């Protein structure tokens, strides 16, 4: 301590330093028992050993935390020694997480999220899902009809880089080759990562545009699905509509599902802003934001699965019937999960 340094140097410490040091020592001695008790309780909880804590200590944990936080406030106001301040700041921070922090870790949260939290959030925005689904179907039909009426629409709807030679009047053999497979999985990991990144961008944009009352989100859905309808017409015109549908179904039931949910989450936020009901806009937005965030977190999982299906399975499985079986199985899996997995039970307090 400061006094010891002066005494070792055989120098008489100034009166104000001696008084401050004595005041700090007295402050610590008067409260050190509670600090140590809180430290022992927090340490046991951090080591996941609650059985070592007595019932009395467990009941006193909030009280001890408040007392220590109060001691920290006093220590800061009176400028006590740095060691005491550092100890109290660390102890209060650790105790806060035990008193007010999350009750479950990452694995517990993930188990609860996949065990019903995600599916419950999706069911809560069912109206928005129905609206976006109708818009997506309409967009596909519009794209098909536009190209059927005038093939020049295809070049307005489908970017050249995405078309890759798949255009009206293209050689049927070239179109069939674009639906083919690869002989090995070498290099498909990079391809899957690229597809995941691209699909993620579409989903994020669909969700983010919802702030403008959901209108831009719906327009984005129309455009993206009109592109799909236009490309579908090209393969149907070449007599390969069924093959294209099978090729698309492998990853499409998952990928389009993620885009559907992302758009619905964005629309839910925008619709809540426009029609908050009896609540204030901020209160309505808060609850809508929580639901939308849960849905979007789940969409990340769907996009990872879609990227793997598109990057690996679609490139290795060439039979149309097998592709339909894979796509249909994934669709059934998602529908059953979202429709029938119940919300997790709230823990009793």
End-of-domain residue from the set 47, 80, 99:
99
335 CB neighbour count, 10 Å cutoff: 12
> Per the structure block, which two tokens stand in for 308?
């793997």
Examine residue 219 and state whether it is found in any structural domain, yes or no: yes
163 falls within a domain: yes
Question: Tokens representing 81?
Answer: 């020694």
Same domain (yes/no): 172, 291 = yes
For residues 18 and 163, membership in a common domain is answered with no
Residues 183 and 138 in one domain: yes
Residues 295 and 172 both lie in one domain: yes
Give how many domains the chain has, as a whole number. Answer: 2
Residues 204 and 213: their CA atoms lie apart, in Å, by 16
pLDDT at residue 3, as a whole number: 43
Distance between first and last Cα of the chain? 46
Please tell me whether residues 139 and 168 are part of one structural domain. Answer: yes
Q: Both 53 and 126 in a single domain?
A: no
For 326, list phi and psi in degrees, rounded to 5.
-65, -50
* CA gyration radius, the chain: 31
Question: Does residue 32 form part of some domain?
Answer: yes
Domain that holds residue 49: 2-99
Distance CA 80, CA 31 (A): 14
**Which has the closest alpha carbon to 307: 202, 192, 198?**
192
Distance CA 269, CA 133 (A): 17
Residue 63 lies in a domain: yes
Asked whether 263 and 132 are in contact (CB, 8 A), the reply is yes
pLDDT at 6: 41
Give, as one character, the DSSP assignment of residue 179: T
Q: Are residues 135 and 258 in the same domain?
A: yes
pLDDT at 13: 47
Q: Which of 30, 65, 99 is the last residue of a domain?
A: 99
User: Are 85 and 209 within one domain?
Assistant: no
Last residue of a domain, one of 38, 65, 99: 99
Q: Kindly give the confidence (pLDDT) of every residue in the chain, 349 residues in length, as a single tens digit, with 9 standing for 90 and above.
A: 444 544 444 444 444 444 555 566 777 788 888 999 999 999 988 887 888 888 888 888 889 999 998 888 888 877 667 888 888 899 999 988 888 876 666 777 788 899 999 999 999 999 999 999 999 999 999 999 999 999 999 999 988 777 777 889 888 898 888 888 876 555 555 555 666 777 888 899 999 998 888 999 999 999 999 999 999 999 999 999 999 999 999 999 999 999 999 999 999 999 998 898 888 888 888 889 999 999 999 999 999 999 889 888 888 898 999 999 999 999 999 999 999 999 887 644 3
Task: Find out whether 4 and 18 touch, Cβ atoms under 8 Å.
Answer: no
Sequence length of the chain is 349
64/62 Cα distance (integer angstroms): 6
pTM, to two decimals: 0.72
| 348 found inside a domain | no
For residues 177 and 281, state if they share a domain. yes
Residue 349 counted as domain residue: no
Q: How far apart are CA 331 and CA 134, in angstroms?
A: 18
172 and 94 in one domain? no
281 in a domain, yes or no?
yes
Do the beta carbons of residue 321 and residue 263 sit within 8 Å? no
- Residue 72, classified by CB atoms within 10 Å of its CB into exposed (0-12), middle (13-18) or buried (19+), is buried
Q: Which two tokens stand for residue 65?
A: 């935390």
Give pLDDT, residue 195.
60
Which residues lie closer than 8 Å to 265 by C-beta, 6 or more apart? 125, 128, 207, 210, 291, 292, 295, 296, 299
Whether 90 and 168 map to the same domain: the answer is no
**Residue 32 shares a structural domain with residue 146:** no
Give the whole-angstrom CA distance, residue 261 versus residue 140: 17
Q: Is residue 345 part of a domain?
A: no
């Amino acid at each position: 301590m400061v006094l010891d340094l002066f005494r070792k140097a055989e120098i008489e410490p100034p009166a104000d330093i001696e008084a401050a040091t004595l005041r700090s020592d007295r402050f610590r001695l008067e409260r050190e028992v509670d600090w140590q008790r809180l430290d022992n309780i927090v340490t046991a909880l951090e080591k996941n050993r609650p059985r070592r804590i007595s019932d009395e200590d467990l009941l006193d944990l909030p009280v001890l935390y408040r007392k220590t936080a109060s001691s920290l406030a006093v220590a800061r106001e009176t400028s006590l020694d740095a060691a005491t301040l550092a100890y109290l700041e660390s102890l209060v921070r650790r105790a806060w997480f035990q008193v007010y922090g999350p009750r479950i870790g990452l694995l517990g949260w993930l188990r609860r999220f996949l065990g019903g939290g995600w599916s419950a959030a999706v069911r809560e925005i069912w109206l928005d899902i129905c609206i976006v689904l109708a818009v997506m179907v309409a967009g596909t039909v519009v794209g098909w009809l536009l190209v059927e009426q005038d093939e020049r629409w295809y070049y307005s709807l489908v970017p050249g880089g995405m078309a890759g030679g798949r255009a009206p009047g293209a050689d049927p053999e070239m179109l069939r080759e674009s639906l083919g497979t690869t002989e090995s999985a070498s290099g498909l990991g990079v391809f899957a990562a690229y597809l995941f990144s691209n699909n993620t961008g579409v989903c994020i944009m669909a969700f983010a545009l919802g702030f403008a009352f959901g209108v831009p989100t719906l327009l984005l859905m129309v455009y993206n699905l009109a592109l799909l309808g236009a490309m579908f017409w090209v393969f149907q015109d070449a007599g390969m509509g069924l093959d294209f549908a099978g090729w698309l179904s492998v990853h499409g039931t998952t990928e389009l599902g993620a885009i559907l949910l992302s758009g619905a989450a964005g629309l839910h936020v925008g619709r809540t802003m426009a029609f908050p009901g009896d609540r204030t806009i901020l209160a309505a937005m808060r609850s809508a934001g929580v639901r939308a965030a849960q849905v979007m977190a789940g969409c990340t999982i769907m996009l990872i699965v879609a990227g793997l299906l598109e990057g690996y399975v679609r490139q290795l499985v060439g039979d149309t019937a097998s592709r339909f079986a894979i796509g249909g199985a994934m669709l059934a899996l998602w529908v059953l999960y979202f429709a029938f997995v119940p919300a997790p039970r709230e823990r009793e307090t």
